[in-house]
Amino acid sequence: MRQAALRSPPLRVTRTAMANPYAAQYASIDLHARIEDASPHRLIQMLMEGAQQRLAQAHGAIERGDPVVKGEQIGRAIAIIGGLQGSLDIERGGELAANLDELYSYMQRRLLEANRDSSIAAIEEVANLLREVKTAWDAIPVDYHHIQPPTP
């Protein structure tokens, strides 16, 4: 067994965490509070925003030549897109949900390629696709934001 496989990744400490060790804890509590108070519509918006942030961070990591951060952020974006995909109700959503399911699968494949090839173009492609979906999602009238799906 290779020795490198046994090493854990280096601890990354942000400037905010160094300046205020409670900042990360506060941010976590704030996020949990926003999640608890969010409508189903807002939760999906938050997921899309999180994926967009991870893609921007991966883009920057590629530009800086930081493969560790690139892989972490692309992995997180893939997981978030998987969460969006998992929230789809294919039966009730019909053709729209099926198309989104295929689009999310495509985005995940492109991000795997982006990670393998350190491809900024692939990251930008996914970011643009996600931006289009988010723009449409954001255009849903407020009257529909709190509608809960019927319980089966």
* Per-residue model confidence as pLDDT tens for the chain (152 residues): 333 333 434 444 444 445 566 655 555 555 555 566 678 888 999 999 999 999 999 999 999 999 999 999 999 999 999 999 999 999 999 999 999 999 999 999 999 999 999 999 999 999 999 999 999 999 988 887 766 655 65
- How high is the pLDDT of residue 46? 94
The beta strands (E) that lie in 31-98 are given as: none
Rounded Cα–Cα distance for residues 41 and 2 (Å): 47
What are the structural domains, with CATH classification, of the chain?
40-136 (1.20.120.340)
User: CA triplet 125, 127, 132: central angle to 5 degrees?
Assistant: 95
Tokens representing residue 96 in the block: 């729209």
Beta carbons of 51 and 77 less than 8 angstroms apart: yes
Residues with Cβ within 8 Å of 61's Cβ and at least 6 positions away in sequence, in order, are 67, 68, 69, 70, 73
Rounded Cα–Cα distance for residues 47 and 36 (Å): 14
Rounded Cα–Cα distance for residues 101 and 122 (Å): 19
